[in-house]
Structure formats: structure tokens, C-alpha cells
Amino acid sequence: MKTTIFLFHPDYKDSRVNKALASGAKNAGITVRNLYDLYPDGEINVNKEQAVLESTDRIVLQFPMYWYSSPALLKEWEDKVFEHGWAYGSTGDKLHGKELMLAVSPGAPTSAYHHDGKNYTVTELLRPFQATSSMIGTKYLKPFITVGATSISDADLANQVTNYVKYLEEENIPKLGTYEEE
């Protein structure tokens, strides 16, 4: 199974968590594409991205949570790369049957993500990606979440890196049901 991590971090040089996770994955031999490095001007090479996606079985989108969603380039990437007739529509089947997995780091701790009258669970906040997965015919795997990313200790981060690599190397990562909570 070919896994590719599509990493979206606009400030990667100052990243601690995503840099550690990406380095762990790279050291384990997993391909990591740093999209902000590849496209510093935001001009995405759609043909190139589609070719990489077509050659991948498990698509991992890794990013820090920004404003309850993703950094902007990921949205631009989706808008440009998931073309009608390629990713969806009557002839758009190129991603059908592949796996889609998110690896997301919210800066705030778990306690910030529950129904307290003004917030939602992380799973709920990520539903647009799950709906997109359904539209493009991929299997939406249970996301790998690193909560409390702004204050995670060195020891917990090291542990999280080990768990990330193990998770990525699993043959059968469970899917997340349409309305299921993690």
C-alpha cells in the first residue's frame, strides 16, 4: 500500500508538532509532500497533484487546525485538484476506493472540544472533509488527532510521533462512519 502525506503548514520553520510528526513519518520511509514549500506562490500544479494522488492508495492530509479548519492552501488545493470529471461527476472516478485520512493538530486541549454551548467536537468540525471524501469516493479513515498541540510536552510529543508512525503503517485503519463520533 502506497501512502503519501500531503502536509499543509504555512509556518513550517516554526512548527514543532507537525514537523516532529512529519519527520517521524519520513524517517519511517513514508513520502511527505510539503505543499507550502512546493507552492510558495500558491500556484498549484494540478496535473502533478492529480498524478501523485492517482499513484497513492492512502492519502493523508496533515495540518495544524486553523480557525476550526485547515490552513488556506489546503482549501485551494481541494478546489483546484478535485476537478469535475476527475474526482467527481459521472466520469470522475480517479480517487474511488482510495483511503483518505486526516492528521490534525488542534492547539487547544480536548476540554475545548465538546458541547459546552459554543463549541463542537473535533470530529464534527472536520465533517466538511468527511463530506468531501464521500463526494470523491474515498474511504474516510478515523483521523489521527494531536490535541493540545500548543502545550504538548516533549515526552508526549515523542509518544505521539511513535503512535503516528504505527497508525500510518497499519494495514487496516478503521473507517469513520458518516455520523459516527470517534
Ligand X SMILES: Cc1cc2nc3c(=O)[nH]c(=O)nc-3n(C[C@H](O)[C@H](O)[C@H](O)COP(=O)(O)O)c2cc1C
105 counts as binding ligand X under rule CB under 6 A? yes
65 counts as binding ligand X under rule CB under 6 A? yes
- Judged by beta carbon, residue 121 or residue 134, the one nearer ligand X is 121
31 DSSP β-pair partners: 4
Q: Which of 23, 45, 150, 159 binds ligand X (CB under 6 A)?
A: 150
- Judged by beta carbon, residue 68 or residue 158, the one nearer ligand X is 68
Q: Which of 2, 16, 96, 166 binds ligand X (CB under 6 A)?
A: 16
- Judged by beta carbon, residue 39 or residue 66, the one nearer ligand X is 66
Q: Which of 56, 106, 136, 138 binds ligand X (CB under 6 A)?
A: 106
**Would you list the DSSP string of the chain?**
--EEEEE--TTGGG-SHHHHHHHHHHHTT-EEEEHHHH-TTS---HHHHHHHHHT-SEEEEEEE-BTTB--HHHHHHHHHHS-BTTTBSTT--TTTT-EEEEEEE-SS-GGGSS-SSS---HHHHTHHHHHHHHHHT-EEBPPEE-TTTTT--HHHHHHHHHHHHHHHH-S-PPBPPTT---
Residue of this chain nearest to ligand X (CB atom): 107
- Judged by beta carbon, residue 39 or residue 120, the one nearer ligand X is 120
Shortest Cβ 84–ligand X spacing (Å):
30
Binding site for ligand X (CB under 6 A): 9, 15-18, 64-68, 105-108, 149-150
